[in-house]
Each structure stands twice: as C-alpha cells, then as structure tokens.
C-alpha cells in the first residue's frame, strides 16, 4: 500500500496535510524576516530574548511541565517554529561551527514568540514619551 493510500485508510485527509505543508512554504518569507532582523541586533547593547530548555540532571522524574496559564498550548507551536528556524538557518549557511543551527534558531524563535512584536511598539512609544 502506498503512503498516500495508508493515510487515506487511516482517515487522515491527505489534502489537509498537503495544505499544511504548502502553508509552511508560504511562511518562509516571514521567518527569513525575523532571521534578518536578528542579524541587525547589537547583542552587546540590546536586551536579547532567549528561551532555554530545563534539564534535571539530579534524576528528577519531571519531564513534562505545567506552564503558566498564558503559556498553555504554546510549547508545540514554539517547538515547531524552532525547528523551522533551524532549517532556514541551516539552509542559509549562516551558521558557523561549533554552534548548531538550533542555537540562533532558538533566539529567533524567542524574538518572534516573546510577544516581542507588540513589545517593540510599546518600547518605542515609551521612549518617545520620555524624550518629550
């Protein structure tokens, strides 16, 4: 049985998956915009957002965490975004050894998902007010 037939037999609509993948392809420009923005940051002088993983090396059993209410459901979306950023970084050839593409990808993902877009506006407005 072909992969397509297998999916159909399982009740999954192949067209939905194809639409999802086409949607991803359509997102390349917006992801690349974030990557380009990240390259303009002055890391020595600006607040640079990051999202870092938590690993318990003491043998703690907790692997799955319950986030704050505002973060519920965000983990999967952020995770997928991190993978896509890593792919585009890798593809762009902008990543230098020994750092893996996921390192700048996590930073780009944090920039996009830190609710930084509205935050940038808030900061700009605040600075304007202060300078009046």
Partner 1 sequence: MSFDLQAFAQSVTKDKRTMEMFRYLLNNSYIRVINYHRTNKEDIPRFEAEIKYYAEHFSPVTVEDMDRFFDTGVWHKERPGLIPAIFEGYRCHYDYMLPILDKYNFTGWFYVPGFFMDVPYEEQLEFAQSHHLRTDIPEEYQHDKRIAMSWEEMEEISRRHVICCHTGSHFQITKTTSDEDMQREIVESKRRIESHIQKPVDVFCWLYGEEYSYYDRAHKFIEEAGYKYVVGNLKMERVRK
8-state DSSP, 98: T
- Applying CB under 8 A, the site for partner 1 has a residue count of 60
Ranges within 26-45 binding partner 1 (CB under 8 A): 26, 43-45
Minimal distance in Å, beta carbon 72 to partner 1? 8
Q: Does 8 bind partner 1 (CB under 8 A)?
A: no
The phi, psi pair for 101, rounded to 5°, reads -60, -25
DSSP reduced 3-state for 13: coil
Contact criterion met (CB below 8 Å) for 35 and 84 = no
Q: Give the span between the Cα atoms of 105 and 113, in whole angstroms.
A: 12
Single residue of 1, 2, 40, 76 touching partner 1 by CB under 8 A: 76
Q: Give the span between the Cα atoms of 86 and 31, in whole angstroms.
A: 10
Q: Does 94 bind partner 1 (CB under 8 A)?
A: no
Structure tokens belonging to residue 129 = 């007010």
Q: Which residues bind partner 1 (CB under 8 A)?
A: 21-22, 24-26, 43-45, 47-58, 60, 62-71, 75-76, 78-80, 82-84, 86-87, 90-91, 99-103, 105-106, 110, 114-115, 119, 122-123, 126-127, 130-131
């Amino acid at each position: 049985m072909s992969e397509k037939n297998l999916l159909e037999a399982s009740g999954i609509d192949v067209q939905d998956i194809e639409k999802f993948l086409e949607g991803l392809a359509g997102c390349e420009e917006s992801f690349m915009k974030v990557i380009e923005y990240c390259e303009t940051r002055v890391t020595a002088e600006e607040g640079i957002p990051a999202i870092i993983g938590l690993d318990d090396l003491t043998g703690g059993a907790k692997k799955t965490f319950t986030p704050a209410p505002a973060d519920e459901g965000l983990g999967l979306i952020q995770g997928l975004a991190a993978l896509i950023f890593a792919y585009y970084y890798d593809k762009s050839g902008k990543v230098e050894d020994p750092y893996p593409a996921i390192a700048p990808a996590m930073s780009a993902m944090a920039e996009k998902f830190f609710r930084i877009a509205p935050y940038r506006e808030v900061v700009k407005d605040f600075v304007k007010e202060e300078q009046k």
